[in-house]
Structure 1
């Protein structure tokens, strides 16, 4: 199989990749929501789940994902990251 199709670090959390604050920081859940969306956008949800301690679709993170989605959709259309918007909607169960 071509190495182009192999994700060697799949499922392994990369320390510091997501720039998460300490878990007891009040901004942790918002940062975790963004990390999960970024991981999904980059086809590496498992790493984001391992790094954040949250599973994909975690109800507790829905308010943060809604806010992030609103921000992403408010960008000028030419600057929007359509894949990021799709994964945010999928996180919320809108797809």
Structure 2
């Protein structure tokens, strides 16, 4: 996990907002779509199922983002506690 790793200590991390192409995604979604068409599912059911179909790479990416946001949330919570405590103590701005 991000919190436990010391491998990147002192190394800046740049998060990309660009789309990551996953070659396995389209064939997987096509297979799901074809299977549901054979079962005579509605277009809406097919669309929902296809949109909820993820490859292992997509799941790994989602987990990485979740872990990162968890750490950011924890840091914000700690920072906010310190800010509130300073307001209570009257030491804000000193």
Fold in common (TM above 0.5): no
* TM-score (normalizing by structure 2): 0.27
* TM-score (normalizing by structure 1): 0.27
Q: For CA contacts below 8 A with separation 6 or more, give which structure has more relative contact order.
A: 2
> Which structure is higher in helix share?
2
Larger Rg: 2
